[in-house]
Structure 1
Amino acid sequence: MRQSVAQAIRGALLERDPRAKTMAARRIARDWRLGRLDFAFDLEMPDVPGRPDAPELLPPNRMPKRGKGGSQRGRIALWHSIAHIEFVAIDLALDMAGRFGAEMSEAFVGDFLSVAADEAMHFALIDRHLRSLGSHYGALPAHHGLWEAAYDTRHDVAARLAVVPMVLEARALDVTPATLERVRAAGDERGAAILKRILDDEIRHVRFGANHFAAVAERLNAERDSLWKLLVSRHFRGAIRPPFNDSARLAAGLSRDLYHGVA
């Protein structure tokens, strides 16, 4: 009897070891693509995914300062924070596919499993880069707020799509180019290449979210932009502020009129 996609995803979500989780995410995406997993949702997703013993997770307001950007300490802190974002992003994509796949479609599952595989690859590249700097993922504290958006929208696929891909991941489109230029100016060409790969992939990830959100809005007979603004006001705790990378957002399916209306 073949394994269900829900069983595979739940196992990866509960995995605590970072390397094992990255390998599991990439394996599930490959097995799904090759037709080795059944489109069946016979298990619920955990409300909290597995986490390694380190890093220590702190509230954002208790996070230590990174230090000066040009210092070795500052560079390590920057890459560690990016590593943590990408690590949690693996779980965000897996949970999206496993929690909402039954009510959506096989295409939805395939899209977000491919996102999980991308995030796993990003994490592996960054952790390798951290090690080349004399550090590793878990060496510094990280903030625990990233999973809150997933937990708060666990009962509503429209809200999850509105907040995670279309707000949180879209924000990466805005901030990554400036980070990339700072890294390149510091002479870190390998780091710049990693960030360029992440930026290119994130455009596709946000587009997946925008496209599936539009499909949900149509199914609900709701106007897409109005529904998005309503759900963001209800479920997103932060503020959506400029500057915006309008060209990258447009490539990802987010019109300027959509997000400027809530900034």
Structure 2
Amino acid sequence: MSSVANACRHVLLTADPAAKIMAARRAAREWRLGRLESRFDCSMPDAPARPDQPVLLPPGHMPKRKGAGSQRNRVNMLHALAHIEFAAIDLAFDLIGRFGEQFPCEFTDDWMRVGADEAMHFALLARRLEQLGSYYGALPAHAGLWEAAEKTKDDVLARLAIVPMVLEARGLDVTPATIDNFTKANDSRSAKILQRIYMDEIRHVSYGTKWFESACRGKDLLTHETWKSLVQSHFRGGLKGPFNDSARSRAGLTTDYYA
């Protein structure tokens, strides 16, 4: 029987988007059915494999995204979101493969579900791009998404603090307005996809908060103070509002953390 670490490594080393979706879904299904051993017997790669497209640019070199009024602008926005979800697949499986041995099996349960969700989100957005006459890879994307993983590769508390509790939580802040913009542009199909992603991301942030607090308890650390210290030392630029306090609270990320 293969190990969970090998399954995660396979996802990370799969470059082709369609194949990565299949690998992520297969890993989550095999884990759920008890066909993967809870063994962490191989290391995760320093960086995931990437397809030839999209061309990756430094974040500061990316063109500014505009509103959803025109189809071109909507395609630009959907492409950017698809790239985020594509990277999120790797972030979920790297979290399991790199740090899962430090936690009970429930940790792997939760993040396998996240990995499968991210694969589904990417598939929905990629298909929507094709319906609008484009495709994933047609536009440049920024290369900064893996930076958070690189900076926190040796510290699970930092990884949980930054990836789900900062980066994904920021999605909770901005997605409602994006959904509203697509709705106003009479693009209900895209709006429904974004609504589905938004609801799933609340759960993803809740997993981050749950396991961050669990790890803090295990180390006898104060959760809010530890989180603030980790964000200050690992997240460049600081937190910027406005914050979606309601969605964050549903995910357990109360204002005690970020106010």
TM-score interval, normalised by the smaller of the two chains: over 0.9
RMSD: 0.9
Alignment-derived partner of residue 157 in structure 1? 156
Residue in 1 that maps onto 2:178: 179
Q: Once the 2 structures are TM-superposed, how far is the Cα of residue 23 of structure 1 from its aligned partner?
A: 1.0
Q: Name the CA distance, whole Å, in 1 between partners of 2:65 and 2:102.
A: 42
For 1:95, give the aligned amino acid.
D
| 1:217 partner amino acid | C
Q: Which runs of 5+ in 2 are unaligned?
A: none
Counterpart CA distance in 2 for 1:137 and 1:64 is 17
Spell out, residue by residue over 1:65-113, the C-alpha distance to the aligned partner (whole angstroms, 9 max, x if none).
Answer: 3356322221111110000000000000010011000111211111111
Kindly indicate whether the alpha-carbon contact (under 8 Å) linking 1:76 and 1:135 is maintained by their aligned counterparts in 2. Answer: yes
Letter in 2 for 1:122: H
Q: Letter of the aligned partner of 2:36 in structure 1?
A: L
SS of aligned partner of 1:163 = helix
Q: Which stretches of structure 1, 4 residues or longer, exceed 3 Å deviation after superposition? A: 65-69
Aligned twin of 2:206? 207
Does 2:252 match 1:231?
no
Structure 2 CA distance for aligned equivalents of residues 190 and 90 of structure 1: 23
Q: Which whole-Å deviations, capped at 9, do the CAs of 1:209-250 have from their partners, x for residues lacking one?
A: 000000110011011000000111111113211111111000
Question: 2:254 maps to what in 1?
Answer: 255
C-alpha separation in 1, matches of 2:119 and 2:67: 28
What's the secondary structure of 2:146's corresponding residue? helix
TM-score, normalised on structure 2? 0.98
Deviation string 1:96-144 (CA, Å, 9 cap, x unpaired) is 0110001112111111111000000000000000001100000000000
- Write the distance in 2 (CA, Å) between the matches of 1:157 and 1:90: 17
- Is 1:83–2:77 an aligned residue pair? no
Q: Percent same amino acid among aligned pairs?
A: 58
Amino acid at match of 1:82: L
Aligned position for 1:61: 60
Aligned partners of 2:228 and 2:67: how far apart in 1? 37
> 1:86 is paired with a residue of what secondary structure?
helix
What SS does the aligned partner of 2:145 have? helix
Separation in structure 2 between the aligned mates of residue 17 and residue 238 of structure 1, nearest angstrom: 32
Unaligned runs of 5+ residues in structure 1 are: none
Asked if 1 retains the 8 angstrom alpha-carbon contact of 2:231 and 2:238, the reply is no
- Residue number in structure 2 paired with 1:244: 243
Q: What is the rounded CA distance, in whole Å, between the counterparts of 1:146 and 1:106 in structure 2?
A: 27
Residues 168, 201 of structure 2: 8 Å contact kept: yes
Are the aligned partners of 2:88 and 2:118 in contact in 1 as well (CA < 8 Å)? yes
- Per-residue deviation at 1:146? 0.5
Q: Does the aligned pair in 2 maintain the 1:59–1:145 contact within 8 Å? A: yes
Task: Determine the C-alpha separation between the residues in 2 that align with 1:183 and 1:69.
Answer: 6
